[in-house]
Amino acid sequence: MINQLIGVKPMGFNNVNIICTALLVVFVVFGFSCSVAAAATDQAAWIQSNDSTLKFTFLEATIHVKIKNNNDHAEFFKISQQYTGDGTVSPLIDWKVISTDPPALRMINSINPGGDLGWEIDSHQTRSVTFTMVETSPPTPFFIQREGTANTFWPIIDDPGLTATWFLPDEIDYLNPNLELQLWQGHFFFFLKNMEKSGPRVEGNVRAPIVPINSFLIASNPTVDFIDNENPSAQTAAWDVTLFPGQTKSYSYTYQWPTGKTVTPANRQSASTRINAGDLVAVDPTNNTTDNSSSIPTKDTGVPFGLLIVGAVVIVAGIGYAKFLR
């Protein structure tokens, strides 16, 4: 009656159904596009390179882990001294253990030259250990090569810079389900040198050589210029570097699993943030105030928050459609 008085024609149920269906489609498409946007920004083809102007002259890793033995008898874990990454890069990296805390024991089986070092964990005991390794092979200077496509493009091609490699920090859970990894923290330090003795300066993107998947980049020095999203499951540290002929620069970065507070890269910082930025410290994963925001779904972080919002909107719209419009 009111619609007739004001001259408005009532909307039919068919039109309402069409509008609601269209809104549902829009919400779903928007949610999907948001979920893949970050991963799509750094997808690029890699042209197989023959050499690199910038090479690593030193690479060191300090690893801290906390592991619980859930079995009814003692279990042992040891240090692997060969890094293969995700299997798509070369060469393999061999390491030498230079320190362990607490002092490591000699293990029964041996996969490393000179024997294996490791620790015992009693039944239902939780143990924390720290060890430091330095890269020994390939001989320095070296760079990591990625399998790429042959250069069939002309006359210009992309130069992505130095690549990263990725691995799972909680692999020990798969090797021995009785050993529960509760904390993994890795601090990496490397020297990068411009191997050219003359000519123009070298500029380009350099990514962290070793990156754990499903982990948080909690510190870097210098501050990373951006976090590379080529691997959607990893926060790959990356720097936009400039090195003059013969110049060497040092870089360090720290990752933590399964929780942590991600550093803010330079391309996400305001001017005041960059000026006032202080030293970054590790985050205690047992602290309830820890920021666990991440686009990476893990057993601790779950599905990304943005997708939850989209899912909630779709569910509410579906309930409304079923209850009031059908």
Annotated domain spans of the chain = 10-40+302-326, 47-294
Q: Would you state the pLDDT for residue 303?
A: 37
Residues 181 and 172 sit within 8 Å (Cβ to Cβ)? yes
Q: Would you state the pLDDT for residue 48?
A: 86
Residues 295 and 38 sit within 8 Å (Cβ to Cβ)? yes
Q: How many CB atoms lie within 10 A of CB 94?
A: 15
Q: Would you state the pLDDT for residue 42?
A: 67
**Binned average pLDDT, 10 residues per bin, the chain of 326 residues:** 50 56 49 46 82 97 98 98 88 96 97 94 98 96 90 93 95 97 98 97 97 98 96 97 98 97 92 46 36 38 41 46 44
Q: Would you state the pLDDT for residue 305?
A: 38
DSSP 3-state helix, strand, coil percentages of the chain (rounded to 5)? 20, 35, 45
Q: Would you state the pLDDT for residue 10?
A: 54
Q: Would you state the pLDDT for residue 12?
A: 58
Residues 95 and 135 sit within 8 Å (Cβ to Cβ)? yes
Residues 77 and 172 sit within 8 Å (Cβ to Cβ)? yes
Q: Would you state the pLDDT for residue 22?
A: 55
Residues 246 and 194 sit within 8 Å (Cβ to Cβ)? yes
Euclidean distance between CA atoms 285 and 109, whole angstroms: 33
Euclidean distance between CA atoms 269 and 278, whole angstroms: 13
Q: Would you state the pLDDT for residue 90?
A: 84
Examine residue 245 and say whether the peptide bond preceding it is cis (omega within 30 degrees of 0): no
Greatest distance between any 2 Cα atoms in the chain? 94
Residues 239 and 282 sit within 8 Å (Cβ to Cβ)? no
Reading the block at residue 95, the tokens are 């390491």
Q: Would you state the pLDDT for residue 91?
A: 87
What does 97-133 look like in DSSP terms, one character per residue?
EEEEESPPEEPSS--STT--EEEEE-TT-EEEEEEEE
φ/ψ of residue 268, rounded to 5: -110, 0
